Structure 1
Amino acid sequence: MKALVLAGGSGTRLRPITHTSAKQLVPVANKPVLFYGLEAIAAAGVRELGIVVGDTQAEIEAAVGDGSAFGLQVTYLRQDAPLGLAHAVLIARDFLGDDDFVMYLGDNFIVGGINDLVSRFVQAKPDAQIMLTQVGDPRQFGVAELDAAGRVIGLEEKPQRPKSDLALVGVYLFTPAVHEAVAELKPSWRGELEITDAIQWLIDHGRHVESTTITGYWKDTGNVTDMLEVNRLVLEHLDAETHGVCEDSELIGRVTLQPGARVERSRIVGPAIIGPGARVSDSYVGPFTSIGADCVIDGSEIEYSIVLPRASIQGVRRIEASLIGHDVEVTPAPNTPRAHRLVLGDHSKVQISS
């Protein structure tokens, strides 16, 4: 079995962070979201991996390399435009050959990995196996319709009138039969080759499609709210480790100081992680906060946030529920005149207490 990881796309919902960084590399508990998926694939026993990349190819390649750090052999597959999940399968045809494969969306996060799903697929050998989960607003997802016996009878991508609340989770398993389906597809109303249409083709042609409804945790980390929620979940399972320096400070609960981190005259309430080379001084870092490598937090308060590497927050009274990018500088505004001074990128969102 091989694996196909989709790591293209522009990440519009995470702008302005993704103007300069791949959305799959935004960190959760100081580790890129993509890495959790690669670790899950390796843990399931898969070794050959194709990564579908787009405009952020250089950044993805720099982070993942040849895959040996994950126990994987990586091949990079260029997708010139995000033309749909089934289009990714189409361009990966030569790499996949006649092997079964698992397709994993690189910005998805699934607790518990995919070992059970892969084992079930290997034993039952359906033509396709999909994962489903109940969601509040199915209109944002691919949606499955099941009959009374629980068999998949219909699939639709982002329907205006969903026939169920069962959304497709971003992990799919296929035999080579899917290539025949993909070859028959025409672009949808969105101008994309939809993987839901390919699976529907299999159903319509009498192929065996199985589904598993998961009750565990899954998130598409496509926006800031979901990124912070996944960060919270991962930090909740963090073990307290102190590999850095802590002086005249209080560490409460599960706090991880990564190598080279330094905490001085501060209070850290876990779960929280302070990255390598980061410095926290005269500050409060609250629960569910990830401070990236080489950050500076000085005379400030922050909680329930993600701070990316080399950011600096100095003299700021309170920050919460925030995603702060690489090399950002956050400082107090001058007291006079009473005004806000902003330098914001395109598509930014700002909330100001006046």
Structure 2
Amino acid sequence: MKALLLAGGSGTRLRPITHTSAKQLVPVANKPVLFYGLEAIGAAGIREVGIVVGDTQAEIESAVGDGSAFGLQVTYLRQQAPLGLAHAVLIARDYLGDDDFVMYLGDNFIVGGIDDIVARFARERPDAQIMLTRVGDPRQFGVAELDADGRVVGLEEKPAAPKSDLALVGVYLFTPAIHEAVAGLKPSWRGELEITDAIQWLIEEGRRVSSTVITGYWKDTGNVTDMLEVNRLVLESLEPRVNGRADAASELIGRVAVEAGAVVERSRIVGPAVIGAGTRVVDSYVGPFTSIAAGCLISGSEIEYSIVLPRSSIRGVSRIEASLIGHDVEVTPAPAIPRAHRLVLGDHSKVQIIS
């Protein structure tokens, strides 16, 4: 069995971060989301992985390399435009050959991995196996309709009037039968080749499509709220360690990780929280569920329930929370007089200001 890992999306919901960075490389607990998917694939016993990439190909390749760090053999497959999940299968046809494969969306996060579903697929070998979870607003997802016996009888992508609350999780398993389904697809109203349409074709052709309703945790990390929630979840299992240095005037409470080369001075850190390699935290408070990446400076400030990407600095800011701060950002206080906000914001930014 092979894996097809999708890492070509543009990440519009994470702008402006994704104007300059691949959404799959935004870190959760200081590790890119994409790496969790690679680790899950490797843990399931799969070794050959095709990574579908787009405009951020160079960045993805630089981070993942040949896959050997994950015990994998990686091949990069260029998708010229994000034309849908089924289009990714179409361009990967030669790479996949006649092998069964798992398709894994690179910005999805699943607690517990995919070992069990891969083993079940190998044992029962339906033409397609999908994972489902109950969601509050199914209009934002691909939605499955099941009959009284739990068999999949219909699929629809982002329906205006959903027939169930069962959304497709971003992991699919297929036999080569999917290639016949994909070959005849026409673009949907979104202008994309939908994998839901391909699976629907299998159903209508009498092929066997199985489903598993998962009760564990799953998130599509496509927006800031979900990124922070996944960060919180991963930090819950953080192992405390101090590989850097914390002075006697500092207080580390709970599950706190201080990475090599990091320095904590006259500060209070309440876990779970991680301080990245080479970062300095001085005269500051870092609260629970916060990830500070490598090479940052937090000075005279307070921050909680947030993600800070590499080489950013926060100086003299009284309180930051529920925030995603990008690479090489500088956050400083505004002058007291006149009382005015001074902003330099990129396209599609979102700002909340207390006046």
1:258 aligned residue: 259
Distance 1:136 1:237 in 2: 26
Distance 2:153 2:52 in 1: 29
Deviation at 1:296, TM superposition (A): 0.2
AA aligned opposite 1:75: T
Deviation at 1:182, TM superposition (A): 0.3
1:327 aligned residue: 328
Q: Deviation string for 1:176-218 (max 9, x for gaps)?
A: 0000000111111111100000000000001010000000000
1:281 aligned residue: 282
Distance 1:100 1:242 in 2: 44
Distance 2:234 2:259 in 1: 16
1:194 aligned residue: 194
Q: Report how many aligned residue pairs link the two structures.
A: 354
1:159 aligned residue: 159
AA aligned opposite 1:285: V
1:70 aligned residue: 70
Distance 2:237 2:184 in 1: 45
Deviation at 1:260, TM superposition (A): 0.8
Deviation at 1:7, TM superposition (A): 0.2
Distance 1:259 1:326 in 2: 20
Return 5+ residue gaps in structure 2 as ranges: none
1:343 aligned residue: 344
TM-score, scaled to structure 2: 0.99
Distance 2:64 2:312 in 1: 23
* 3-state SS of 1:216 partner: coil
AA aligned opposite 2:185: L
Deviation at 1:294, TM superposition (A): 0.4
1:18 aligned residue: 18
* 3-state SS of 2:62 partner: helix
Deviation at 1:9, TM superposition (A): 1.1
* 3-state SS of 1:263 partner: strand
Distance 2:190 2:27 in 1: 30
Deviation at 1:134, TM superposition (A): 0.1
2:30 aligned residue: 30
Deviation at 1:40, TM superposition (A): 0.2
Distance 2:93 2:126 in 1: 20
Return 5+ residue gaps in structure 1 as ranges: none
Distance 2:259 2:100 in 1: 39
Deviation at 1:148, TM superposition (A): 0.1
Distance 1:118 1:253 in 2: 36
2:133 aligned residue: 133
* 3-state SS of 2:103 partner: strand
* 3-state SS of 1:199 partner: helix
AA aligned opposite 1:286: G
Distance 1:43 1:201 in 2: 31
Distance 1:274 1:319 in 2: 16
Distance 1:85 1:233 in 2: 27
Deviation at 1:21, TM superposition (A): 0.2
Deviation at 1:337, TM superposition (A): 1.0
Q: Deviation string for 1:19-46 (max 9, x for gaps)?
A: 0000000000000000000000000000
* 3-state SS of 1:297 partner: strand
* 3-state SS of 2:99 partner: coil
Deviation at 1:133, TM superposition (A): 0.1
* 3-state SS of 1:5 partner: strand
Deviation at 1:290, TM superposition (A): 0.1
* 3-state SS of 2:173 partner: strand
TM-score, scaled to structure 1: 1.00
1:291 aligned residue: 292
Q: Deviation string for 1:58-88 (max 9, x for gaps)?
A: 0000000000000000000000100000000
| Structure 1 stretches of 4+ moved >4 Å | none
Are residues 1:208 and 2:192 paired? no
Percent of aligned pairs with the same amino acid: 84
AA aligned opposite 1:112: G
Q: Deviation string for 1:297-353 (max 9, x for gaps)?
A: 000000000000000000000000000000000000001111000000001000010
Distance 1:290 1:146 in 2: 40
Deviation at 1:171, TM superposition (A): 0.1
Distance 2:70 2:332 in 1: 39
AA aligned opposite 2:20: T
Deviation at 1:264, TM superposition (A): 0.4
2:112 aligned residue: 112
* 3-state SS of 1:172 partner: strand
Distance 2:353 2:270 in 1: 26
Deviation at 1:89, TM superposition (A): 0.1
Distance 1:352 1:203 in 2: 51
Aligned CA-pair RMSD: 0.4
